[in-house]
Amino acid sequence: MVTGGVTKFAKAHPAMDFRLMVRRAYDYALKGIPNLTRDRIDGSRISYFSDHFTRQLKASSMVQDYLGLNPKGSVRIEWGGATGGECFQAAYEAVASGRMDVCLAAGFETMSRVETWKGNEFIALASDTNFDFPLGGFYTGYYALMVQRHIYEYLRRTKFAHIPDEREAQRLATAEGSRIMALVSVKNHQNALHNPYAQYPKPLTVDQVLQSEMISYPLVREMICTMSDGAAVAILCDERRAREFTDRPIRITGVGTGTDTMRLADRPFGKVPLLPTERASDYANLDYPGIHSFRAGRAAGIEAYRMAGITDPRRELDFVELHDAYASSEIQTYEDLGLCRYGEGYDFAERGDPFMSNIQYPFPTPNAGALPVNPSGGLIACGHPVGATGLMQAVFAFWQLQGRIAKHFGNKTLQIPNAHRGAIHSHAGTGSAVTVSILERGYRP
Amino acid sequence: MTTRPPVFSKFREVQEELGRSGRAIYRDANGIDSLIIRYPYSINYIHSYAEDTEFFLALADGKLKGSKCTRKSCGTVYATPRGHCMACGAPTEWIDLPPRGRLHSWTTCHYGSEAFLKETPYNLAMVEFEGADSLLFVRLKECVESEIYIGMPVEARFDPEPKYSITDVWFVPKRS
């Protein structure tokens, strides 16, 4: 990867349609590397999630057209919430296969064209329309069901195992899980205060999060990402050209994808696919994935780590930008990606490992800086214009690894010192498709 | 010259105007004007339940149908029917499911997508059945948030006037 650009994500960008948004991000990307002119781009991979939101089929062709890239090759990428992450990997594959020397990955979504609850309906059409959608058509409801079971498996059955009354034990476990989800929400909103691209940066307290409106028990408003308009681009090329375009290229050393059943109800109760640091005996009594964990995320992580030669992601990654559509799914994803073991996600957050060491949060974070997760603010605070989101993560990771956060954000607060290797994670549906990509410094500082 | 649509600097006001006249101009903080129109869009789909048909017809008869893998060495039982087995790939056959089970997980939705907003709050539940390897996703009624817990015994109720939707069945707490 040699450059990238992002538009500021916003509730609505009425003065820009999707073509102009992509053009703005593309101009930003090209501005930094004068040797990379449009004629050097061999083609594109263009991503957006929903034709319903855009009310324009073949919108990717219109982006290709607007950028003046015709008659070069281009393909539209759609993979639900993981659309942006998959677009990034599709561009990687175009270059890695030798088909292109230089490939543009561009993604966008214009979700402001419908009202919020109609937008939720469009998103919920990405659930089985025979069995799932007619029950309420609501993704927050699906994630609430999942985290309820996650809390049951990992808090009710451990910390609250001594409480005999089942209802009371579950209530207390859910309150504890909610409190820890609130820590994650505070982290992401507060990190975003230093990211000028973020849609909803704000200082919050745990109580403010917990007292925000209940959307689907136990998920409250501040634990949930919003709908956005936005675009992001990344330009990928082969290694020889990379050094011609920039003295700080970033290598993509691992790519992984994973899948699972469309319907949550169909998820099997089997064994955990293990990372090199885990043993089968760690999970002897765990039915996996059920509806508490994301097997697709685990599969994507295993593939990407293997390719990048990572055996212990906790120690070998400097940061992770992951798909926190919900504070709950951030905690679940810590475990899927092996940042901690299954069952340790709540402790991992509470100990402060995923927090920034140089930011003062309104509670103690003893291990802060151990492995920052979503230093940018993630989806919860940056916004989630679906087709752009995975590429936004790539751009933020790229700037992080180049050591150029200050240049692009206007301040260096979110720059992780000496960041050498990071992971980005893009997630679809109720976990039906996930991508993980590993990015590393491709230069000596 | 015809009158131009009214100009607003708040997007909420634009949305209100669209509800009235269907046209408005939004002027952003930089003074850039965008003409915005209302565009209605509705569709009547011709939606076939295809290989899932038997399940929806059974609901109308007050019965729950699952499916079972026909390969003897596999025999996976699906509470949400699948035409082919996910584990081994063999075709499945229809089986009767018991009209009772236990809650595997649940939530109360205080919002929903537009089509379901008027039904809020409503409960969603995953139900596990004795002898089945997968779950069924349903509405849970006749109980409120504070009563519900994972493991709660529940039983099925069926709509006497079927709409041929998954909502023709719902579960309620089992009264002992």
Nearest to B112 by CA among A127, A367, A23: A127
Contacts of B24 in chain A (CB under 8 A): none
| Inter-CA distances, A100 with A113, A237, A241, A391, B85, Å | 35, 8, 12, 19, 40
Kind and range of the H or E run holding A405: helix A405-409
Using CA atoms, how far apart are residues A379 and A373, in angstroms rounded to an integer?
12
Q: Is residue A27 part of a domain?
A: no
Say yes or no for a CB contact (<8 Å) between B26 and A14: yes
With a cut of 90, say whether residue B176 has pLDDT above it: no
Kind and range of the H or E run holding A64: helix A59-66
Contacts of B23 in chain A (CB under 8 A): none
Using CA atoms, how far apart are residues B85 and B79, in angstroms rounded to an integer?
12
SS3 assignment for A83-140: HHHHHHHHHHHHHHCCCCCEEEEEEEEEHHHCCHHHHHHHHHCCCCCCCCHHHCCCHH
Structure tokens at A350: 């509470």
Using CA atoms, how far apart are residues A147 and A159, in angstroms rounded to an integer?
16
Q: How far is B21 from chain A (nearest CA, A)?
A: 17
Q: Dihedrals φ, ψ of A400, to 5°?
A: -60, -45
A318 with A250: CB under 8 angstroms?
no
**Residue range(s) defining the domain that contains residue A318:** 138-223+257-441
Structure tokens at B132: 């089945």
Number of domains in chain A: 1
- Enumerate residues 115 to 134 of chain B having a beta carbon within 8 A of any beta carbon in chain A: 115-117, 119, 122, 124-126, 133-134
Q: Is residue A390 part of a domain?
A: yes
* B4-9: average pLDDT: 96
Say yes or no for a CB contact (<8 Å) between B104 and A214: no
Residue among B112, B125, B151 whose CB faces A138 most closely: B112
Predicted confidence (pLDDT) per residue in A348-383, tens digit:
999 999 999 999 999 999 999 999 999 999 999 999
Chain B touched by A216 (CB under 8 Å): yes
Instruction: Provide the terminal-to-terminal Cα distance of chain B, rounded to the nearest Å.
Output: 76
Other CB atoms within 10 A of residue B23 CB: 15
CA angle A137, A139, A140 (to 5 degrees): 120
pLDDT band at B97 (very low <50, low <70, confident <90, very high): very high
Q: Which residue of B has its CA nearest to A131?
A: B166
Lateral strand order in the sheet of B23-27: B7-8, B23-27, B33-37
Of A17-21, A113-117, A307-311, B128-132, which gets the smallest average pLDDT? Answer: A113-117
Say yes or no for a CB contact (<8 Å) between A265 and B117: no
Say yes or no for a CB contact (<8 Å) between A268 and B41: no
Predicted confidence (pLDDT) per residue in A73-90, tens digit:
999 999 999 999 999 999
CATH number at residue A303: 3.40.47.10
- Beta partners for A105? A45, A234
* B146-170: average pLDDT: 97
Chain B touched by A259 (CB under 8 Å): no
Q: Is residue A127 part of a domain?
A: no
Structure tokens at A11: 């509730």
Say yes or no for a CB contact (<8 Å) between A129 and B11: no
Single pTM value for the model? 0.97
